[in-house]
Amino acid sequence: MENHGAAIAELPSGALLACWYSGLHEEDRSVRILCARGSSEGGSWSQPWTAVAPGDQAIGAEAPDKSLGNVTLTVTPDGRVWMVHGVIQSRMLPLVGEICHNWVCGRIDARVSADEGRTWSRAHRLVDVGGALPRAELKPLGDGDYLAPFYEENAQRAFLARVSLTGGAAALHGVWPLDGRKLIQPALARQDDGRFRVYFRDQGRQGVYAGRFDPRTGAWSDVALTNLPNPGAAVDVFNDGLGRFVLIYNPSNTTRDVLALARSADGVHFTFGCDLSLPGLEGPAAYPSVTRGRDGAWRVVYSANAKGRIKFVRFTSAWLAKCFGDKG
């Protein structure tokens, strides 16, 4: 079984919720979205349960899903949990059968839970553009809306969207594509000036790219290659609380053998810190998703052992300082 595309959230009760897609292999009809509930520090976890079954059909979708994909989780101030996830939209032709077999038929659905993820509403279709898929955590904009990073598999293009998570259905209120570059799977970290640093997976495997986005104007700027490698794999990023950006990434242009941490003050020039996954024991490791809890510690989930399982890690500011060799 393959387990991949995970997300992590801290619930109002203090417990953790992790969700991911699982099946015989990516893009297969057997794929479902599983969720598990963990203690606040992640020391114990429930048995996974099926949150979204194969063959689900969102409101507004033309047919049942052929398969399911990447998951993101957002907890809104009213205590509800929103799941935004990818699907492969099925399309059947007479005599031919299924013609959508991969992520170029991707779409994005959203559903909500009022009981901390135990049960979910029926999904609504959020983005009905061919190849659209989510990857990283949505970020609050301070006015009740969220900035949602998505990408288009077929066009190999990143975009950001303003999303409202109210009522029974999420809704888009603006979409800003990053044109002219084949960069996907954007991950966001807020700057002090209200803009966002955005980091991208590079299908050309030159390295991790970084840019800036201003949600007040919808303008992209400063897209440049960082000094970090990228093997055509997803990254995630967080602020360390001291004005620096910390990237979780695969430190190679060729393999996903290990996940590591690197830190930057300017968002472009990074210094290596330490490994996050266990070299030789958990590789290939990929697709990290990070969130910070109310206790100040960070929680990360990622795919380990070549998508064989989902791994959880929690670390504190003190551990992070040790990772980067900071002197107390």
Q: What is the pLDDT of residues 42-74, one digit of tens each?
A: 999 999 999 999 999 999 999 999 999 999 999
**pLDDT attached to residue 230:** 98
Write down the mean pLDDT value for the chain: 97
Q: How far is it between the farthest Cα atoms of the chain?
A: 69
The closest of 198, 122, 138 to 172, measured between CA atoms, is: 138
d(CA 77, CA 83) in angstroms, rounded, equals 15
**pLDDT attached to residue 162:** 98
Cβ contact 266:227 at 8 Å:
no
Q: Is the pLDDT assigned to residue 309 strictly greater than 80?
A: yes
Q: Angle 10-189-4 (CA atoms, 0-180°, nearest 5)?
A: 55
**pLDDT attached to residue 94:** 87
**pLDDT attached to residue 95:** 85
With b meaning 16 or more CB within 10 Å and e meaning fewer, what string describes 15-26? bbbbbbbbbeeb
d(CA 159, CA 181) in angstroms, rounded, equals 11
Q: What is the pLDDT of residues 140-188, one digit of tens each?
A: 998 899 999 999 999 999 999 999 999 999 999 999 999 999 999 999 9
Q: What is the pLDDT of residues 219-275, one digit of tens each?
A: 999 999 999 999 999 999 999 999 999 999 999 999 999 999 999 999 999 999 999
Cβ contact 253:282 at 8 Å:
no
Percent of the chain residues topping a pLDDT of 70: 100
**pLDDT attached to residue 239:** 97
* Range 293-311 average pLDDT: 98
Q: How would residue 327 be classed by pLDDT, with cut points 50, 70 and 90?
A: confident
Strands (E), 114-168: 124-127, 132-134, 139-140, 145-152, 157-166
The β-bridge relationship of strands 260-264 and 49-52 is unpaired
Q: Is the pLDDT assigned to residue 76 strictly greater than 90?
A: yes
Backbone angles phi, psi at 107, to 5 degrees: -145, 170
The closest of 269, 222, 259, 263 to 239, measured between CA atoms, is: 263
Q: Is the pLDDT assigned to residue 328 strictly greater than 70?
A: no
Q: Is the peptide bond preceding residue 284 cis, with omega within 30 degrees of 0?
A: yes
The closest of 50, 46, 60 to 20, measured between CA atoms, is: 50
